[in-house]
Structure 1
Amino acid sequence: MFKFYTIPSEDIIDKLIGEEATIKLSSAFNLNDPYELKFNLDIDPLAEGHEKEYYKNNPGSSVQDFEDWKKHATEHDGYTWYAEQQQRNSVAQTIALCSFTDKNDNNLMWSHYTNNHKGICIEYKPELFEYLKTQKGYLVFWKVNYSDEPPIVKGLDDVNQKVEKLMFNKQSEWKYESEHRIVFLSDKDTEFIPIERKFIKAIYIGSRADTDIDKKILSVCNNTDIEVYYGITLGKTYKVHFEKYKNGTIYSRAFWR
């Protein structure tokens, strides 16, 4: 699996691939898609099970309270919309995630997530995800589904069903990302999970990365098993390809360098 990173300064390189390497989790509120976690709620107040669920979520309520809720949910068109936003916000405030992809040669990904090919892409070994599944707060690791319409969430879906539908569905326009997500319970905007460097297989340096970034990565990866590759955008095709670093070799990566 691969993950793209913008590198605003050399310090972040140590945090990502140094001796005390980490994986960054971000709150669902901080994701770049304004339609993130969007869904369509299907509530049938008369369906069997709603009464039990109502009292579970509203302890101390009376039978009349439940009847009032049924009437309100049935007769007010805005109720479903309000309930959707309430549940969407509730999930977003308690969930953090980290996104990966199964390919590293997509030009759009390099442009969008590495500051126009100036950042890096890290390849992680499969063992990383087995390790992350043992960490506190882990919920689920799954591939994102892409569709033209938001998923339908039933009023009586349990928490796990709701999280899976909200967290693993995106618009079809994002399909090029081929995204996989690992999701944790967290109320923080940003959180870093320590990992061992043995889980890092390779680093791919963007074709427009600054020379200082190159040197820092080579220094950090020196005397480790982490392979280093340069992204090459010169040639006869639009496809990004990679050449493994070899000491003493000069890599012509982008025509404006």
Structure 2
Amino acid sequence: MVHKNYLNAEQFERYKQFIYAGSIGEAKKMLLEIIPKDCMIYKYYRGINRDWNSIIKPELWLCKATCFNDPYDSAFLCNCHSKKIYDPQTEYTLAVEEGLKQYEQDQKSDIMQDTVLVGCFSERNDSLLMWSHYADEHRGLCIGYNLHDLIKNYNCFPVIYSDEMPQGNELGLNKTDSLMKYILTKYSDWSYEKEWRIIQIDNTCTESGKLITFERPLEVYMGLGKRVEDKYRRNHKKLAELKQKDNLLKVSEAIEKDDFYVDDTKITDYRRKLRDEGQKIGLYNFELSRQKFELEPRKWSIGI
């Protein structure tokens, strides 16, 4: 399936220029003018109770960049060396000075990377790879949010994919806007994700991330039917293991534990609650196409 990008090439180049110039306000203003008010953005989840409880609260987990699977993510790597090889006879002092500066910048880079908190989203809700990587091999959930609202209410920006790293020779925590180009630029291998990011800089966070108050979801996509069935078998297996350790454990208590997969009835109950309050949420699941390597969405009507 061919997916149209939310920004065309000309718009994206102008956006990139704003980000690389540190003009974050101008970039945000531009996005609010371009992105339609009904445009959706998506986030993949494993689909366990911990995820669902945060989704409906609603909250969003911002993860430290140091915990990501890409070592270059928000790494703030600077090259302080003016050359690769120094003449030991005439450039010894220069080599020592630049070596010390490189060490200081690398230390600062590690500290700064640990202050970057990110929530990741995608323009796509039907990526086979992302369902596999981020939604527990198609057993999880993909949640849709209003993108225009996220841009308006948070530091929400599209990722810039490139074969070249952003360049700089000095870093500083007091230059947040100028640091955004490092946080928003990823190697082009990741471009299939069509990622947008909500970003916070927080040097007080001592955990692997934090929860923030967030927006209500507008769409919920279940994984593949057969994989969704498998999550209940896994729940039953986990329950049996817990009962072996504690025979007095109530089933109703066990299935509410954070690491159990969320039950479908919780999702339909949530939709019913919203409907009673005059609000809407779309529920869907995916099936495999019989003609192409694609996921086909279907309206989900079970349990209504």
The CA distance in 2 between the partners of 1:223 and 1:72, in whole Å, is 72
Alignment of 1:16-95 (within 5 A): 16-17=55-56, 20-43=57-80, 74-76=94-96, 78-79=99-100, 81-95=102-116
Contact 1:73 1:80 (C-alpha < 8 Å) held by counterparts: no
Deviation at 1:180, TM superposition (A): 1.0
Deviation at 1:214, TM superposition (A): 2.7
Contact 2:105 2:171 (C-alpha < 8 Å) held by counterparts: no
Deviation at 1:151, TM superposition (A): 1.5
**CA pair 40-195 structure 1, distance change in 2 beyond 3 A:** closer
SS at match of 2:156: strand
1:166 to 169, 177, 182: 182
1:222 to 265, 272, 277: 272
1:206 to 217, 223, 233: 223
Which residue identity lines up with residue 210 of structure 2 in the other structure? E
TM-superposition CA deviations, 1:122-152 (whole Å, max 9, x none): 000135415643xxxxxx3321111223211
Deviation at 1:93, TM superposition (A): 2.2
**Residue 6 in 1 paired to residue 46 in 2?**
yes
Deviation at 1:248, TM superposition (A): 7.2
Q: 2:20 maps to which residue?
A: none
SS at match of 2:168: strand
**Residue 177 in 1 paired to residue 220 in 2?**
no
Aligned residues: 213
Deviation at 1:226, TM superposition (A): 1.1
Q: For structure 1, list consecutive stretches of 5 or more residues without a partner in the other structure.
A: 46-70, 134-139, 250-257
2:286 to 202, 207, 231: 231
Q: Normalising by structure 2, report the TM-score.
A: 0.62
Q: 1:50 maps to which residue?
A: none
1:190 to 209, 214, 218: 209
The CA distance in 1 between the partners of 2:126 and 2:51, in whole Å, is 22
Q: For structure 2, list consecutive stretches of 5 or more residues without a partner in the other structure.
A: 1-40, 83-90, 233-261, 275-279
**Residue 102 in 1 paired to residue 152 in 2?**
no
The CA distance in 2 between the partners of 1:99 and 1:72, in whole Å, is 45
TM-superposition CA deviations, 1:207-251 (whole Å, max 9, x none): 1223563333222222321110001124221111111112479xx
Which structure 1 residue ranges, 4+ long, deviate > 4 Å from structure 2? 42-45
**CA pair 223-174 structure 1, distance change in 2 beyond 3 A:** same
Contact 1:232 1:243 (C-alpha < 8 Å) held by counterparts: yes
**CA pair 213-96 structure 1, distance change in 2 beyond 3 A:** same
The CA distance in 1 between the partners of 2:116 and 2:289, in whole Å, is 41
**CA pair 168-127 structure 1, distance change in 2 beyond 3 A:** closer
Deviation at 1:39, TM superposition (A): 4.6
Identity of aligned residues (%): 27
Q: 2:259 maps to which residue?
A: none
Which residue identity lines up with residue 191 of structure 1 in the other structure? K
The CA distance in 2 between the partners of 1:175 and 1:41, in whole Å, is 23
SS at match of 2:78: strand
Deviation at 1:155, TM superposition (A): 2.6
Which residue identity lines up with residue 62 of structure 2 in the other structure? L
Contact 1:24 1:98 (C-alpha < 8 Å) held by counterparts: yes
Q: 1:151 maps to which residue?
A: 166
Report which of the two has the higher share of helix: 2
SS at match of 2:273: coil
The root-mean-square deviation of aligned C-alpha atoms, in Å, is: 2.8
SS at match of 1:243: strand
TM-superposition CA deviations, 1:135-181 (whole Å, max 9, x none): xxxxx332111122321113378723542122011111101011111
Contact 1:26 1:189 (C-alpha < 8 Å) held by counterparts: yes
Q: Normalising by structure 1, report the TM-score.
A: 0.72
Bigger shift: 110-119 or 185-194? 185-194
